[in-house]
Amino acid sequence: MTERFVLKRISTDAIERSVERAEHYRLLNDPEQAESICLDILAVDPTNGPARITLILSLTDQFQQGGGSHGVRRAKEHLARLPGEYERAYYTGLVAERQGRAHLLHGGMERAFAYEGLHEAMQHYEQADALKPVGVDDAILRWNACVRTIERESLQPRHDEPELPLE
């Protein structure tokens, strides 16, 4: 019989340092550790915006490692819990962009999916730009990066294939 473990809860006094640790592990390219820390923080403080954002970014960091649709779904679940419209639009764009870039790494038929992800991201970045705080042009920077990638990689949308008649 397999032993069951119970997760331990961090103290509320440790939240600020734990957010810093999560960001640190993310920057060390250890998104799984950052994700785990964020989940511990959110178990104690479900409204912690920096932890939720770091969690979303950690999940998107894993897309290129084959996180697939499960990782995208999990990231989208957390997007809905972000506090403001700007944050929801911006990070929804970021999830779509990173999903598109993950498709780009796989090449071949995935390139059309890369275009779609980047194009969807651009739409969210336009929404975020309309909602942005004064002096925050992050959505424009991301939008421009998507445009440059589409142009550099000569990405095109998928073309609908005509259905073949059944014989």
Structure confidence by residue, pLDDT tens digits, 51-66: 999 999 999 999 987 6
Mean pLDDT of 2-7: 91
Sign of CA dihedral 17, 29, 70, 92: positive
Q: What's the whole-model pTM score?
A: 0.88
With beta carbons less than 8 A apart as the criterion, state whether 79 and 91 touch: yes
Tell me which of 17-21, 27-31, 131-135, 160-164 is least confident.
Answer: 160-164
Q: Could you tell me the pLDDT band of residue 33, with boundaries at 50, 70 and 90? A: very high
Q: Could you tell me the pLDDT band of residue 32, with boundaries at 50, 70 and 90? A: very high
Q: Could you tell me the pLDDT band of residue 163, with boundaries at 50, 70 and 90? A: low
Radius of gyration of the chain (CA): 19
Tell me which of 81-90, 104-113, 134-143, 149-158 is least confident.
Answer: 104-113
Cα separation, 116 vs 14, in Å, equals: 41
95 vs 25, 44, 129, CA distance in Å?
A: 19, 25, 16
Cα separation, 35 vs 15, in Å, equals: 14
